[in-house]
Amino acid sequence: MERIEWVIDRCRLLQAIGAEFDETKPFAGLTIGTGIHLEPKTVALLLTLQRGGAELVSTGNLNTTQQEACDYLAACGVRIVGGPTSDPAEHDAHLWEVVRSHPDLLLDNGGDLFARFVEEPYDSLRGGTEETTSGRMRLEPLRDGIGLPVLVINDSPIKQFAENEHAVGQSVLESFLRLTNLSTNGKRVTVFGYGACGRGVAANFRNAHAVVSVVERDPVKRLQAMLDGFLVPDRDDALRTADVVVTVTGVDGVVTAADAPLLRPNAILANAGHFPWEIDAAGLAAAGATVLEDGHMVNLAGPRPLGNSVESMDIGFALQARCLEAVARGEVGAGACVVPVPRAIDEQVAASFVSSAA
């Protein structure tokens, strides 16, 4: 409880938006269905939306829900569906329960809610937001079925550099240290993916004195990794030499059981991508490899999971609050289906953070 309140107090942007929402009530009479990690920073976001007049029906993501966050939200009047689970079938039922309560707005993380809406559409949905890269990839082909404004927070340049690059890199390093109690000095670390998240993961391990290789299927980004000073061996060599392998691609089956013969005996694998399918954890474990947290998002797993820094999430969640406000007020039309955050919102949030830090 103290930890949750400490986090809420340090979400400066959300606090300021909450104070504004106390007066303006953009969500008065509306229900927001949410399917996002339930942990202290999301508590701060959901309570901000509640201050704007929203009723909330909320479930978490697979394997990342923190019971204390659920209890705190429930005590504040949020309807919590389910609780911590790593069982995909149980999680599926929770997601359906949120969608079948027919919220007016959806706050999605991974495309779970909008994908189900497309299967069982209803008239009162106004649209909503999607937080992640993985969700955007999943929802793009569903645009015709959605037909409503859906703003993708991930595709704000602010989210890209504030969270994906700087914060994911820091929290994946912190999680590796916390979960293994091993050093990074001189370790050979292979990072799969050199998007925003991969750039941060690679940089943070290098800053922690590891020798970092990058495997990237896009030749342009592979060149970028090389010019940033990383080794860019071919995939199999990068696996053969690695003490630590981190996947952060958003793509399934990046490292599979077929790769087990390539791995060093003590190699440790971890996934930081949204879904736990990047590493075939079961297949590799059967072959004797160590996969941290069964391949679930490593920076929101294990004992005392912290996730990304409070400041990075405050910025990203300020974008969330402003985007949901714009959809609720009808300021974006159906043409804005699975599109980036409007530039005016990026500018507003960026200016607020800079002035609040002054």
Ligand X SMILES: NC(=O)c1ccc[n+]([C@@H]2O[C@H](COP(=O)([O-])OP(=O)(O)OC[C@H]3O[C@@H](n4cnc5c(N)ncnc54)[C@H](O)[C@@H]3O)[C@@H](O)[C@H]2O)c1
Binding stretches for ligand X (CB under 6 A): 132-134, 163-164, 168, 192-198, 215-218, 221, 248-251, 254, 272-274, 297, 299, 308
Q: 174 or 216, CB closer to ligand X?
A: 216
- CA 112 – CA 96 distance, rounded (Å): 9
Q: 15 or 133, CB closer to ligand X?
A: 133
- CA 237 – CA 318 distance, rounded (Å): 42
| Among 151, 173, 153, CA closest to 163 | 153
Q: 57 or 202, CB closer to ligand X?
A: 202
Q: 296 or 322, CB closer to ligand X?
A: 296
- CA 222 – CA 67 distance, rounded (Å): 40
Neighbouring C-beta atoms of residue 318, cutoff 10 Å: 26
Q: 65 or 132, CB closer to ligand X?
A: 132
Q: 105 or 245, CB closer to ligand X?
A: 245
Q: How far is the CB of 254 from ligand X (least distance, A)?
A: 4
Show the tokens assigned to 79: 């309807």
Q: How far is the CB of 214 from ligand X (least distance, A)?
A: 8
| Among 46, 50, 3, CA closest to 22 | 50
Q: How far is the CB of 122 from ligand X (least distance, A)?
A: 27
- CA 134 – CA 280 distance, rounded (Å): 18
Q: How far is the CB of 124 from ligand X (least distance, A)?
A: 29
Instruction: Name the residue number minimizing CB distance to ligand X.
Output: 195
Q: How far is the CB of 132 from ligand X (least distance, A)?
A: 4
Q: 52 or 195, CB closer to ligand X?
A: 195
Q: How far is the CB of 353 from ligand X (least distance, A)?
A: 18
Side chain identity at 301, as an amino acid letter?
A: A
What's the Cα-to-Cα distance from 274 to each of 47, 63, 137, 240, 285, rounded to whole Å?
A: 24, 11, 12, 25, 20
Show the tokens assigned to 90: 């149980």
Alpha helices in 103-241 (DSSP H): 112-119, 133-139, 143-146, 157-159, 168-180, 196-207, 219-227, 235-241
* Angle, vertex CA 172, rays to CA 170 and CA 177, nearest 5: 95
Q: How far is the CB of 199 from ligand X (least distance, A)?
A: 8
